[in-house]
Structure 1
């Protein structure tokens, strides 16, 4: 490989990693960048692959839909009857006209792009059987119980003379909170002691993942149907006819959908809704254009992630101006000190914001903003609004420059970059900085770590600032007597309250957990769930991990030299080792059970599973492969040894046939697990 090729591959890897990371945050957690910034990253990756096709590997993020379900999800996994696709985007009139030119049709439908959460509904003989999130397009989370309390979703469809009920009907829709209801939902949330949602989309996504259906009812969720998946006994000739049928059966459809017959009218509709974005009952960030005729849709087909017969015209992010009152800094769990803007509250993209990110001190200087400036804020439905820059013409001379602090605002330690070329400044007092300590406590209590429900941000800050804990090492040794010094976990009468008692119970329960969760909870830089799983799966005990040579750690799949080096350096610090020793003494898992390790029948084999298997869930089939020494791959290539095909398998099965790979059904897969490849006929 030439140096130029190697650099191209490094550039692609960097972009692909960023896209996967931010896509996972968008679908499963809290976004860190704007939709527009993500679109830029995604387009950069697409352009790179267009210019250098050899980089466009089958498992590229540009070919994937949605994001895999978060490992900490509390909902069961379900396989969609038919793959849920995403939509390709265009961002200006020229791109739209180019798409229309290569996708001619007698009639198009224009639909508002609802900024909500996708949902998949399955009706059998007119009765709601299941509801699920999009997930990765194949497998979603089972949210049936929550869907049943959304008034727009009928439990049973109504047949009509013109539209008899099909045997099986899979509906695609979007769940959202109406703009007019959002402020009341937030007011109720604040009254109950919670934090306000950043925007309706974020609120809808969080609501659908509530464990308690009564909480879901409070969120005033609505749903609009915008497509069909698998059907049995229903074959509409057009998308328009499909919507008529859905409406007749009692499913909600959009009142804003319009049929148009020529490209110029499509462009007119795009321009109209650009000026009337707030006229809809829901937030919208674009206009979707679909070829209406379903036979034409089938002929046009789809890519690995999106139909060729539909496109989304994405509107530019909304921008407003407001007064920058101050620039303050916050300290994260790794010591990174981040400036953020404190502003006069302003309504933008459907929600009121008063804070916005400024990333780092270099970014503040680059944007040229001064405290007291009127600044331009951009927000396009994302969680974190962004300061674009100042309106220089409105300055009156009272503005002042932001001075990045030389000392940590939490502990007073002198700040410095970790390395000479780092743009981020950090507080090096990781052992006793209250800001870092409380952030690490909050992190280890999260679902992706120990999952301690009664330990939130306020509780973590209280435990540190009340000096109940000096660091996270003592968290599992807390007693009721310790909590008597707390303000969060005690009553006005000075006794431990219900939350405090729940915290103590949860701490005891969470000790017995997976080793990979313990690794995540240590807040070792770069060691997230993926690397932690890989390390725990290979070494089975923390002692074996600590004793392993650096080069060996780095060779672990999904780890690499940077993560391995970070892991080793962490354990060179005395107080870090004290955390592990104290947790171990308290009974926290430090070693996986190895007595039941499965025979390594799949050692060296790469296996792809596509479609649903009766005897396995998505997680259990992956575990079955990995625990027997195999690699559970997500995409089919020439290097794939076996492709296991279940119900409703799609393009992966087709590609396996085209490549002449060995294909197994579920029975054959079970035999493979038991006997390994040499024993198969």
Structure 2
């Protein structure tokens, strides 16, 4: 017989799982974050007193123990393929016609199929495969090369929207094995919070939420992963044993009954006209979502038709992604500065009138190289069209020649390194067009700073607290003149403490 404390533990676990479901699946929380934390704290305290009663699927067991040494490779039971892309209505219609032809159905103007289609937002995240065995989360793997991926189970367990145990359903029994595929993503507000914290610490932030998600999943310390509040939405399946559904939409409904979050914006469609109307309508409000979406995925809904259509070596034939064009905006080019990279390459950086694009206000864009400036005939004072396709620094795609002011001035290439005033060499392609310029001084301070930034970054030496701003500060103070100086900083304590924002803790 259960003790009073064991019964309370069961009740708390049940309540917490239900609140997770209401928050992530239904988007309708019924308690505050503070009340949720109180329930979780009470559960932790009771489990600490009843360690024999701790189970792997308890809400307290999301964060793992010791940091990992690395990630093992795991073969997928079924390949995790990519999705083919299309960018206009005509190509979308051709895909529908190919489906009709392959299934032996008459090709009609409406593009209808028996059972219809399913349309869902294409979340700009990281693909993941969740494997549940007897209802318990047993394995989480990344897509990898499609045949095998990395085992990131310990990190995925920290994501609150992913249940550690599937919930029992009155209408749908839990399968013996079910692989659930979907996207792990970082909400925009969390991305901004993390980058602000990096900036405050003098570290370089992530380029975009997708990069932040991918980098977080590959961290070896699950405690840090838990702090970054990743989320998950399911959209597909891998291996399934002990459960059958007739359609994709029926499978998604079953996932919801088991406590797995699916996208409430997923809608059924009957033909090309309905699909295109949905794509256009969704484009008008996708910027209001709290996560990045770069398109709409269209799937044949009946699973038997998916089976008949099959796959290529790279893509399923039964689905396609319509990708929205990258957002563009017009602004005025004010000046161009030349930045020195770690290889000595000089990159022109445009400063423009501030413009709001893709959810952020930007003032800088890359011009790539001097050859690109000549090819596009970009001049100071021009009205330029910039494009932001998921990166922090957008690019100039063209000049509005008709709007060119009379006093616009051609951009002059540097004849010497802007940092060390050393010799410059230009490279050209086979046709004689310039492709890039380089500072050839091996002792150029700017090159050293960029190499130090790369050396200390995540994915390299991962030196905590030594971001771009800190390296520039230390280099400017004469404390960093070589890679070896990094390891001598502990001997320069007094000099470090005299620097601005370089306190004892840092």
Matches within 5 A, 1:116-515: 116-179=125-188, 182-397=191-406, 399-417=408-426, 421=432, 422-430=434-442, 432-445=443-456, 456-458=467-469, 460-461=471-472, 464-468=475-479, 470-472=481-483, 474=484, 478=488, 480-481=490-491, 483-484=492-493, 487=496, 490=497
**Residue 89 (str. 1) matches residue 74 (str. 2):** no
- Alignment partner, residue 44 of structure 1: none
Q: In the TM superposition, what whole-angstrom CA distance separates every residue of 1:568-611 from its partner, at most 9, and x where no partner exists?
A: xxxxxxxxxxxxxxxxxxxxxxxxxxxxxxxxxxxxxxxxxxxx
State the SS of the aligned residue for 1:99: helix
- Contact persistence 1:285–1:380 (CA under 8 A): no
CA separation in 2, counterparts of 1:279 and 1:394? 32
Can you give the 5+ residue segments of structure 1 that lack an aligned partner in the other structure? 1-72, 500-681
- Alignment partner, residue 678 of structure 1: none
CA apart distance, 1:83: 1.6
Tell me the TM-score normalised to structure 2 length: 0.75
CA separation in 2, counterparts of 1:300 and 1:390? 45
Q: In the TM superposition, what whole-angstrom CA distance separates every residue of 1:174-215 from its partner, at most 9, and x where no partner exists?
A: 122334554445444434544444333233223333344443
Describe the shift of the 1:179–1:398 C-alpha distance in structure 2 as closer, same or farther (beyond 3 A).
farther
CA apart distance, 1:486: 5.6
State the SS of the aligned residue for 2:298: strand
CA separation in 1, counterparts of 2:175 and 2:152? 23
Considering fraction of residues, name the structure with more strand. Answer: 2
CA separation in 2, counterparts of 1:434 and 1:228? 52
- Contact persistence 2:203–2:466 (CA under 8 A): no
- Contact persistence 1:350–1:381 (CA under 8 A): no
State the SS of the aligned residue for 2:381: coil
- Contact persistence 2:269–2:275 (CA under 8 A): yes
State the SS of the aligned residue for 2:261: coil
CA apart distance, 1:350: 3.5
State the SS of the aligned residue for 2:379: coil
Describe the shift of the 1:344–1:126 C-alpha distance in structure 2 as closer, same or farther (beyond 3 A).
farther
- Contact persistence 2:202–2:466 (CA under 8 A): no
Considering fraction of residues, name the structure with more helix. Answer: 1
CA separation in 1, counterparts of 2:408 and 2:494? 44
- Contact persistence 2:475–2:481 (CA under 8 A): yes
CA apart distance, 1:452: 5.6
Describe the shift of the 1:384–1:137 C-alpha distance in structure 2 as closer, same or farther (beyond 3 A).
farther
- Contact persistence 2:202–2:468 (CA under 8 A): no
CA separation in 1, counterparts of 2:493 and 2:170? 69
Describe the shift of the 1:254–1:342 C-alpha distance in structure 2 as closer, same or farther (beyond 3 A).
same
- Contact persistence 2:372–2:435 (CA under 8 A): no
State the SS of the aligned residue for 1:424: strand
CA apart distance, 1:437: 1.6
CA separation in 1, counterparts of 2:327 and 2:441? 40
CA apart distance, 1:383: 4.7
State the SS of the aligned residue for 1:440: helix
Greater RCO (Cα-Cα under 8 Å, separation 6 or more):
2
Q: In the TM superposition, what whole-angstrom CA distance separates every residue of 1:541-570 from its partner, at most 9, and x where no partner exists?
A: xxxxxxxxxxxxxxxxxxxxxxxxxxxxxx
Describe the shift of the 1:418–1:77 C-alpha distance in structure 2 as closer, same or farther (beyond 3 A).
same
Can you give the 5+ residue segments of structure 2 that lack an aligned partner in the other structure? 1-68, 101-112
CA separation in 1, counterparts of 2:401 and 2:207? 28
CA apart distance, 1:217: 3.8
Describe the shift of the 1:202–1:447 C-alpha distance in structure 2 as closer, same or farther (beyond 3 A).
closer
- Contact persistence 1:111–1:256 (CA under 8 A): yes
